[in-house]
Amino acid sequence: MKIIIAGAGAVGFHLAELLAKENQDITLIDTDEEILDHVSTHLDVMTILGDAASIHVLEDAKISNTDLFLAVTTSGSTNLLLAIMAKQRGAKRTIARVNNPEYFEQHQKENFKKLGVDVLISPQLLAAQEIERLLQRGSFTDIFEFEKGRISIVGFTLDTTCPLINKTIGEIDQSNDFTFRGIALLRGHKTIIPRSSTKLIKGDHLYIASVAKSMDAILQFVGKQLQPIKKVMIAGGTSLAFRTAELVQDKYSVSVIVKNKNRAKLFAENLNNALVINADPSNVDILKEEGLEQMDAFIALTVNDETNIVTSLMAEHMNVYKTIALVDNVNYTHISQNIGVDTIINKKLIAANNIFRFVRKGKVEAIASLHGVEAEVIEFEIHKKNRLLRNCISDLRLPIHSIIAGVIRGDDSFIPSGDFLFEINDKVIVFALPEAIHQVEEIFK
The reply to whether 22 and 111 lie within a common domain is yes
Tens digit of pLDDT for each residue in 361-400?
Answer: 778 888 887 776 778 899 999 988 888 888 899 998 899 9
- Establish if 40 belongs to a structural domain: yes
Exposed (0-12), middle (13-18) or buried (19+): which is 324, by Cβ within 10 Å? buried
d(CA 403, CA 193): 8
Q: What is the CATH number of the domain that holds 438?
A: 3.30.70.1450
Please state whether beta strands 412-414 and 363-368 pair in parallel, antiparallel, or not at all (unpaired).
unpaired
Whole-model pTM over 0.75: yes
The reply to whether 382 and 297 lie within a common domain is no
Tens digit of pLDDT for each residue in 125-167?
Answer: 999 998 998 888 777 878 888 888 889 898 888 877 778 889 8
Of 166, 201, 221, the last residue of a domain is: 221
d(CA 208, CA 229): 23
The reply to whether 303 and 392 lie within a common domain is no
Of 320, 342, 365, the last residue of a domain is: 320
The reply to whether 285 and 382 lie within a common domain is no
Tens digit of pLDDT for each residue in 185-195?
Answer: 888 778 888 88
d(CA 295, CA 231): 5
Mean predicted confidence (pLDDT) in 265-276: 96
Q: What is the CATH number of the domain that holds 308?
A: 3.40.50.720
Q: Indicate the residue type of 107.
A: H
* E strand intervals along 188-278: 190-192, 205-211, 231-235, 253-258, 274-278
- Establish if 328 belongs to a structural domain: no
Which range (1-10, 62-71, 88-97, 216-225) has the least confidence? 216-225
**How confident is the prediction for the chain on average, in pLDDT?**
89
What percentage of the chain reaches a pLDDT higher than 90?
52
**pLDDT(433) > 70:** yes
- Establish if 421 belongs to a structural domain: yes
Contact criterion met (CB below 8 Å) for 110 and 46: no
- Establish if 303 belongs to a structural domain: yes
Range of the domain at 285: 228-320
d(CA 275, CA 253): 8
The DSSP secondary-structure symbol of 329 reads: -
- Establish if 245 belongs to a structural domain: yes
The reply to whether 362 and 435 lie within a common domain is yes
Quote the number of domains for the chain: 4
